[in-house]
Amino acid sequence: MSSTIDTIKDQIASHPILIYMKGAPNAPQCGFSARAVQALMSCGQKFAYVDILQNPDIRAELPKYANWPTFPQLWVKGELVGGSDIILELAESGELQTMLEAAAQD
């Protein structure tokens, strides 16, 4: 029997760029998720997402696993980058673009 943590680890391992968010990229369900996903899309790299509203187990377990209490959460190459504020700061500085391009090439 697979645990929710195993599922989370598998999702993070199988997608170089992954965002845990409320809703979907084309229909975010909160302002933080909307801004974060907009910043991601502006970088032009493909990314995976998990709608935590559709996955209450992941919504409950991921903050403990990641030691990060809020959503969205951006994971790049297995590392937690952070939430909406950090994503927007990285986007403004150009670092997000560089980070995502590097992740997409590996």
35 has binding-site annotation:
no
22 has binding-site annotation:
yes
10 has binding-site annotation:
no
CA 43 – CA 8 distance, rounded (Å): 24
CB 83 within 8 A of CB 106: no
Sign, CA dihedral 26-31-56-73, equals positive
57 has binding-site annotation:
no
Show binding-site residues for [2Fe-2S] cluster: 30
As annotated, the binding site includes 22, 30, 59, 71, 84-85
Annotated binding site for glutathione: 22, 59, 71, 84-85
